[in-house]
Amino acid sequence: MLTLVTSNPAKYAPFARDLERLRIVLERPRQPMAELQSRSFSEALAEKARAAASMFGRPVLVDDAGLALEAYAGFPGPLTSTVLGSLGVAGLQRLLSGSSNRAVMECHLGCWVSQSLRSWAGMVPGHIDFTRPVRDERMLLSDLFVPDTSAENGRLLHRARALAALGADAFSLHLETAPDARCGETSSTGRPNYECAFCAELENDGLSIFSSMMGNRLASRVVYEDEDFVVMPPLGEFMEGGLLLLTRQHILSLAHLRPAAFDRLERLLAVISEAVRLRWGVAPLVFEHGPAPEWSKGVCCVDHAHLNIFPAAIQVQPHLSERMSVPLGSLAELARLQRAEFGYLFVQENDGTRRVYDGQNVPTQLVRRIIATQLGMPERWHWRDYPGQDELLATYHALKGRLRL
């Protein structure tokens, strides 16, 4: 979890849902915090974030808000509470007499990470209206500042926009500030796990779920294998062309893959994608549900690293847009996700774009559900309800011997 340090948690009460989604908790400072008296939000925020990180012994979020008057080149900015507390309504009116009453309300969030400030800002333009009644001098800004927007929450919009800006980077920030030691021994050793359905099948013990389901119809479903990876159609094959690309060794997720194997994984995935595109006419969707070491993906999934590959022409991102996420360039970047507190969802869309989503409270086989529903076959997402043996056989015979790295 990320901690937002604020002496007035009540001001974030309207944003409880956003804070929960971003996994941010509010906490008061453990002692009074001296604030740098500067006209620069970045300078004041950096000092506050650095002090808060020292106080809590880890990076935490801090905030600063204020009014930037057009007539005075952004003054008072971070000094707003001090200046307006001294001026009052009458003094502010004298200050702006004969000048522009335009202003910008600003909210800045910051975090001191790796000896530098990360910051996010929300700004709302508007004007000061002295004809409005002031209920409380302490609420002077709320009463006198009129945002240009007609939005219902206009007076809170600067804070909402700052949180929205943070939201775009929140998952990355969680990863950057997470403790280093995230994975346990069982997730990284690579030893076979004889309770794992995939390990049992690859060890060919004759007692695998695949053997019990397929009987004499197919002795092995493997269409490609090398020293690192195995490719085979899944059980519950709800459409032809579906594949699993799994690690030969038992590791929890591809985030724990040995670094030297990522290049081979990239090349193998490219070969598979081209073969699927040529055979079924669609560049496939690719996804992985990588659990956190202390969490299980659930009884319907196997905690053995594997990519799911389906030639389905749909977009997954709109169904995951509420989750924190970060774009991904290379598959090697998955190694960062060892530190994902609640695991992750990796998705490569049909156009090749890649994104990793926060895995908090992910229902089992969520992406399979999305695909099956969008294809008009929602009853097929669960492999026990729809074994898909015919589709599995068709996929096996279409690709066996045709994948070459």
Q: Model confidence over 200-217: pLDDT tens digits?
A: 888 876 678 888 888 788
The predicted pLDDT at position 295 comes to 57
Give the total residue count for the chain: 405
What pLDDT score was predicted for residue 297?
55
Q: Whole-angstrom Cα distance, residue 272 to residue 261?
A: 16
Looking at residue 185, what is its pLDDT? 40
Provide the pLDDT for residue 296.
Answer: 53
Task: Give, in order, the Cα–Cα distances in Å from 387 to each of 134, 210, 214, 300, 381.
Answer: 68, 10, 9, 13, 10
pLDDT number for residue 97: 93
Can you give the pLDDT at residue 143? 80
Low-confidence spans in the chain with pLDDT less than 50? 181-188, 298-300
Q: Are 72 and 94 in contact (CB under 8 A)?
A: no
Residue 141: predicted pLDDT: 75
CA dist 229 and 227 (Å) reads 6
**Do 243 and 309 contact (CB within 8 A), yes or no?**
yes
pLDDT of residue 184: 40
Instruction: Tell me the pTM.
Output: 0.85
Radius of gyration of the CA atoms of the chain, in A: 27
> What is the reported pLDDT for 262?
98
Instruction: List alpha helices for 215-327, DSSP H.
Output: 262-280, 317-320
pLDDT computed for residue 37 by the predictor: 84
Angle at 294 between CA 293 and CA 296, to 5 degrees: 85
The separation between CA 55 and the C-alpha centre of its own chain, rounded to angstroms, equals: 27
Q: Residue 155 corresponds to which amino acid?
A: R
What three-state secondary structure class fits 122?
A: strand
% helix, strand, coil for the chain, step of 5: 40, 20, 40
Angular region, 221: left φ>0, alpha ψ -120 to 50, beta rest:
alpha
- Which residue from 304, 123, 301 is spatially nearest to 202, judged by alpha carbons? 304
